[in-house]
């Protein structure tokens, strides 16, 4: 039996010196930074939008919330799927370093954890937060949205 | 052998838009939503100053026959730096006259993407969606979004009863009789102020494009979203546009 039988896949992303994880099923692709189009709005977490594969994708800098400061430089945009009550949309997360696909077991978050923490995993001696993008990125009503893992389990139950 | 009858391809739906600038920022509006375009100079005599403490973006009102139009400063509405407007758009089915820098060009959009749901504040009332024109993303404004019902109520309340007018403007649409009856100078597109163009008459509300949440926009060749199979470093331009203060 493979030692990874009970593991799930995650993408590790880097924000300055820290690493975070996102469920791999929520990631669409990793792209080089492209032109950001800005227009007036009042959603402070959103920097602007990029054009990607024919779609207009909002760019959301989550660093301020996760590491306490905005990114001065960025190496890639990690394009993830963000769930809303009426579907999913792409959202681009600026990251400062390479991303890595890993397999690990996630320990679910406890009630004491912040809403954007979906769980924890251990990798290379580090304990890494698994992010709940529904809670981390802006949207109409994040509280009522299912966390990615819950949605995944619900899908599995239906299939 | 009989060849299959070629099926008629559905004509591409398009919508004519005006690209305009407010404080240097590019916006689009459906040309069907714009009843008149005037030079601000032509409004100078007709506009009456109002002092509405709670609404800095509206400083003037223009009486058009028995209706009144509130002149909205586009820069203040969007929170952009102050500018010297050159033109005013009279927006159809609203009581708004919008001050803008000028018109960039008139063009056609074929697809309107709904504003991504990550935008979750006032901007949802401001924009019908976003479109891509010449590889540039442009927000398409919602004409009725410049003055909310509450703001209209506030403005109406601040006026004297005689001047107050809560009836919707220009339900008759498309006729410019009101402006002429009021003795106003001809609009820009009617030959006043600026050089007239062939676009003398704006279309009378052609069917608008519906914003779609996943409609591809004219840009890169679209393909299905990728699963994470390793990094996809597609070549993209790296120029950043100048930042706009939010």
Which pLDDT score, from 0 to 100, does residue A35 have? 94
Tell me whether residues A42 and B216 touch, CB distance under 8 A: no
Q: What are phi and psi of B36, to 5 degrees?
A: -145, 155
Query: A73 or A2, which is more confident?
Result: A73
Q: What are phi and psi of A52, to 5 degrees?
A: -145, 120
CA angle at residue A120 from A114 to A122, to 5 degrees? 150
Which residues of chain B lie closer than 8 angstroms to A95, CB-CB? none
Instruction: Yes or no: say if A115 and A132 are a contact pair by the CB < 8 Å rule.
Output: yes
Which residues of chain B lie closer than 8 angstroms to A32, CB-CB? 233-236, 238
Which pLDDT score, from 0 to 100, does residue B5 have? 66
Give yes or no for B228 touching A (CB within 8 A): yes
pLDDT digits (tens, 9 = 90+) for B19-35: 999 999 999 999 999 99
**Residue of A30, A32, A40, A60 to mutate, interface with B, max B Cβ within 10 Å:** A40
Which pLDDT score, from 0 to 100, does residue B111 have? 93
Give the domains, in start order, of chain A with CATH numbers.
8-158 (2.40.50.180)
Which pLDDT score, from 0 to 100, does residue B214 have? 53
pLDDT interval class at A74 (50, 70, 90): confident
Tell me whether residues B116 and A43 touch, CB distance under 8 A: no
Give yes or no for B81 touching A (CB within 8 A): no
Give yes or no for B126 touching A (CB within 8 A): yes
Residue A134, burial from CB neighbour count under 10 angstroms (0-12, 13-18, 19+): buried
Give yes or no for B150 touching A (CB within 8 A): no
Query: B183 or A126, which is more confident?
Result: A126
Distance CA A60, CA B69 (A): 38
**Residue of B78, B117, B239, B244 to mutate, interface with A, max A Cβ within 10 Å:** B117
User: Can you give the pTM of this predicted structure?
Assistant: 0.74
pLDDT digits (tens, 9 = 90+) for A52-62: 988 999 999 99
**Residue of A54, A71, A93 to mutate, interface with B, max B Cβ within 10 Å:** A54
Highest mean pLDDT among A4-18, A142-156, B125-139, B209-223: B125-139
Neighbours of A82 (CB within 10 A): 25
Give yes or no for B219 touching A (CB within 8 A): yes
Nearest to B232 among A29, A46, A55 (CB): A29
Number of H helices, E strands in chain B: 5, 11
Which pLDDT score, from 0 to 100, does residue A82 have? 95
Which pLDDT score, from 0 to 100, does residue B142 have? 97
Which pLDDT score, from 0 to 100, does residue A115 have? 93
Side-chain-side CA neighbours of B55 within 13 Å: the count stands at 26
Nearest to B220 among A46, A54, A90 (CB): A54
pLDDT at A26 over 70: yes
Query: A116 or B229, which is more confident?
Result: A116
pLDDT at A148 over 90: no
Which residues of chain A lie closer than 8 angstroms to B222, CB-CB? 53-55
* Helix H or strand E encompassing B73: strand B67-73
Q: What are phi and psi of A64, to 5 degrees?
A: -55, -40
Which pLDDT score, from 0 to 100, does residue B29 have? 98
Neighbours of A73 (CB within 10 A): 8
Which residues of chain A lie closer than 8 angstroms to B219, CB-CB? 51, 53-54
Residue ranges of chain B with pLDDT lower than 70?
A: 1-10, 52-53, 160-207, 213-246
A·B CB contacts under 8 A: 150
Q: What share of chain B is helix, strand, coil (3-state, %, to 5)?
A: 15, 30, 55
The whole-angstrom distance between B188's CA and the closest CA on chain A is: 27
Nearest to B117 among A42, A54, A89 (CB): A89
Report the chain A residue with the minimal C-alpha distance to residue B77: A40
Q: Write down the ipTM of this complex.
A: 0.83
The whole-angstrom distance between B141's CA and the closest CA on chain A is: 11
Which pLDDT score, from 0 to 100, does residue B184 have? 42
Nearest to A106 by CA among A122, A117, A93, A91: A122
Which pLDDT score, from 0 to 100, does residue B63 have? 86
Which pLDDT score, from 0 to 100, does residue B171 have? 43
Which pLDDT score, from 0 to 100, does residue B192 have? 32
Tell me whether residues B237 and A137 touch, CB distance under 8 A: no
Which residues of chain A lie closer than 8 angstroms to B20, CB-CB? none
Which pLDDT score, from 0 to 100, does residue B128 have? 97
- The mean-pLDDT minimum among A25-34, A96-105, A146-155, B6-15 falls in A146-155
Tell me whether residues B121 and A36 touch, CB distance under 8 A: no
Distance CA B194, CA B198 (A): 13
C-alpha to C-alpha distances, A142 to A116, A135, A151, B72, nearest whole angstrom? 10, 5, 14, 34
Which residues of chain A lie closer than 8 angstroms to B113, CB-CB? 55-56
Give yes or no for B130 touching A (CB within 8 A): yes
Tell me whether residues A40 and B123 touch, CB distance under 8 A: yes
């Amino acid at each position: 039996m493979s030692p990874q039988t009970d593991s799930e896949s995650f993408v590790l992303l880097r924000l300055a010196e820290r690493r975070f994880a996102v469920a791999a099923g929520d990631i669409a692709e990793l792209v080089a930074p492209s032109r950001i189009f800005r227009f007036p709005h009042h959603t402070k977490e959103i920097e602007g939008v990029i054009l990607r594969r024919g779609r207009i994708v909002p760019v959301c800098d989550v660093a301020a919330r996760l590491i306490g400061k905005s990114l001065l430089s960025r190496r890639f945009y990690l394009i993830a799927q963000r769930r809303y009550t009426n579907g999913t949309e792409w959202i681009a997360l600026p990251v400062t370093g390479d991303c890595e696909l890993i397999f690990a077991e996630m320990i679910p978050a406890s009630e004491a954890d912040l809403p954007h923490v979906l769980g924890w995993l251990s990798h290379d001696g580090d304990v890494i937060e698994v992010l709940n993008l529904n809670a981390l990125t802006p949207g109409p009503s994040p509280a009522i949205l299912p966390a990615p893992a819950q949605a995944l389990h619900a899908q599995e139950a239906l299939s | 052998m009989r060849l299959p009858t070629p099926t008629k391809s559905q004509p591409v739906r398009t919508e004519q838009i005006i690209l305009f600038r407010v404080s240097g920022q590019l916006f689009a509006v459906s040309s069907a939503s714009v009843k008149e375009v005037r030079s601000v100079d032509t409004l100078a005599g007709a506009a009456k100053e109002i002092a509405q403490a709670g609404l800095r973006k509206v400083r003037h009102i223009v009486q058009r026959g028995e209706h009144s139009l509130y002149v909205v400063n586009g820069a203040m509405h969007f929170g952009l730096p102050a500018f010297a407007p050159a033109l005013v758009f009279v927006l159809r089915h609203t009581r708004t006259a919008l001050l803008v820098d000028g018109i960039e060009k008139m063009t056609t959009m074929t697809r309107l993407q709904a504003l991504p749901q990550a935008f979750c504040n006032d901007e949802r009332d401001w924009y019908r969606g976003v479109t891509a024109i010449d590889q540039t993303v442009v927000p398409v404004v919602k004409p009725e979004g410049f003055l909310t019902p509450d703001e209209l109520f506030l403005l109406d309340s601040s006026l004297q009863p005689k001047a107050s007018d809560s009836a919707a403007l220009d339900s008759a649409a498309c006729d410019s009789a009101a402006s002429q009856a009021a003795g106003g100078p001809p609009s820009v597109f009617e030959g006043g102020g600026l050089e007239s163009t062939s676009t003398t008459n704006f279309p009378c509300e052609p069917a608008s494009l519906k914003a779609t949440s996943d409609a591809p926009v004219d840009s890169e060749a679209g393909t299905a979203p990728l699963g994470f199979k390793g990094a996809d470093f597609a070549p993209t331009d790296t120029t950043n546009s100048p930042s706009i203060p939010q």
